[in-house]
Amino acid sequence: MRLLLTGFLFIASSARAQIDSVFFRRVFNEALENGQAYSRLGELCKTIGSRLSGSPQADKAVAWGKQMLSGYGFDSVYLQPVMVPRWERSKTEALSFTSAVFNTAIKGEKLQDFNCEAFEELPLKPSKNHKIPAVALGGSVGTSGKLQAGIVSVHSDAQLDSLGKAGVLKGKMVLLNRPFPETYLNTFRAYGACVGQRVNGASKATAFGAVAVLVRSMSNRCDLHAHTGVMIYDDKQSKIPAMAVATAVANLLDKLSQQDPNLRISMELGCQSMPDAPSANVVAETRGSNYPKSIITFGGHFDSWDQGEGAHDDGAGCMHAFEALRLLKSIGYQPRHTLRCVWWMNEENGLRGATEYAAVAGKNNEKHLAALESDRGGFTPRGFGVDSVFLPKVLKYKALLDAYSIGEIEKGGGGADIGPIRKVNPNAVLVGFIPDSQRYFDVHHSETDVFESVNKRELHLGAAAVAVMIAILDQELD
């Protein structure tokens, strides 16, 4: 009897599950009726908040994550230690300007997005000192006391080069003011076209004698929220401080800099880099029935910038992954391979968690069949980016995916945190989860990336989408 039963179980568990309309319905019903992602994200955002690498909040979040995940009965939950860089913002963080042609304090209510062009109508009167909504970019050095300079606004790398070569930038603050190309349907493409000025702009400007840079916030919106993000110094150049200014303010400074040759900017920054700090990736697994040593990894990054609560970036991605693992367990899905939810640490300013994850995988001779990343927010799901080798397998499910409005399949997977896996498993299939992109850069890296900006159903539909894609990978890969 025992032999028979074992034999029966073996056959049952080795048979492939049908990923059909019944399976989709069960996953989506569970997500929409009993979804846990939203309430858990609320806990994370409201009891801990932002989670900059190496910060006390990041430590708290890691402890919370391990404890929370341990309550769901997964086969194992553990931390993977990793040292992370630590950069810290200071209370000393101020930007202001004086101008002979502008005296109206910048008031949010006058610059609402719907009439962002209203600068045109602001009164131009004698000068005062105006505080500017601005935040240091991550990684920036501080100033030594108060730094004061005139300002030059540039709109392209070519303009930076030509003004630099003409000596115009010497001793100036440079406003790197290239706006998002609004005609790109996918806002990530617009981000890609502009983010270089944030990441490398300071060192480019230093080469021409600039004393600091202000970077137009990476956002589609015209408003008064400054968006931080990583900047990297070229070691061959001296380091100058860098701040992000809100898009509406970038427009204003651009205009003022043309009208007022005596426009002066004053910056004071106390931010600093500190020694590396211990932290961890957070991992939860369900072991595979057939191939426990073959792994399908999926996750997001657990660190965030220190503005807002890291709700969409990337609390949402972490919750997508956790909830996908829970959904599949909850409906009784028996995975053939080991399913591993990973919350990588330090995506924003170092990628140490992802690098360590891949290094450990290499050391342990782990075989990763596939890796899926969710790092585009918790918005309504649209589809997936998929490695071209795996594309034909996914397209078999196109009609089903379309029925759940997640059938926009693009060629090309990948993502910052799953990229390193390819170094140890060159054939790992990479998949990117793609939610709607229109609102992402409204909140990205800013004080508005809070729990209230996340919609429960959109988040839960995203988690269900990730879950069905994980099941497709589990069934179609060997």
Where do contacts with its own copies occur on this chain (CB under 8 A)? 28-29, 32-33, 38-39, 41-43, 45-46, 112-115, 182-183, 185, 187, 220-221, 380, 382, 402, 404-405, 408, 436, 438-439, 442, 451, 455-458, 461
Which CB sits closer to its own copies, 187 or 257? 187
Q: Where are the alpha helices (DSSP H) in 207-271?
A: 247-259
Cβ(138)–Cβ(87) below 8 Å: yes
CB of 86 to its own copies, least distance (A): 30
> Among all chains, which residue has been given the structure tokens 């029966």?
8
CB neighbours of 124 closer than 8 A, spacing ≥ 6? 101, 102, 103, 259
Cβ(369)–Cβ(297) below 8 Å: no
CB of 279 to its own copies, least distance (A): 26
CB of 461 to its own copies, least distance (A): 7
Which CB sits closer to its own copies, 318 or 371? 318
Which CB sits closer to its own copies, 323 or 366? 323
184: number of Cβ within 10 Å: 15
- Inter-axis angle of helices 21-34 and 456-476, to 10 degrees? 150
CB neighbours of 126 closer than 8 A, spacing ≥ 6? 100, 103
CB of 471 to its own copies, least distance (A): 18
| Per-residue burial over 141-179, b = 16 or more CB atoms within 10 Å of its CB, e = otherwise | bbbeeebbbebbbbeeeeebeebbeeebbeebbbbbbbb
Q: Show the CA angle centred on residue 167, arms to residues 238 and 98, nearest 5°.
A: 80
Which CB sits closer to its own copies, 18 or 114? 114
Cβ(344)–Cβ(302) below 8 Å: yes
CB of 35 to its own copies, least distance (A): 9
CB of 378 to its own copies, least distance (A): 11
Cβ(209)–Cβ(238) below 8 Å: no
CB of 443 to its own copies, least distance (A): 11
Which CB sits closer to its own copies, 20 or 113? 113
**Which structure tokens are listed for 472?**
């497709």
CB of 36 to its own copies, least distance (A): 11
Instruction: Return phi, psi of residue 98, to 5°.
Output: -120, 140
Which CB sits closer to its own copies, 288 or 462? 462
Which CB sits closer to its own copies, 166 or 399? 399
CB neighbours of 23 closer than 8 A, spacing ≥ 6? 17, 333, 468, 471
Which CB sits closer to its own copies, 113 or 234? 113
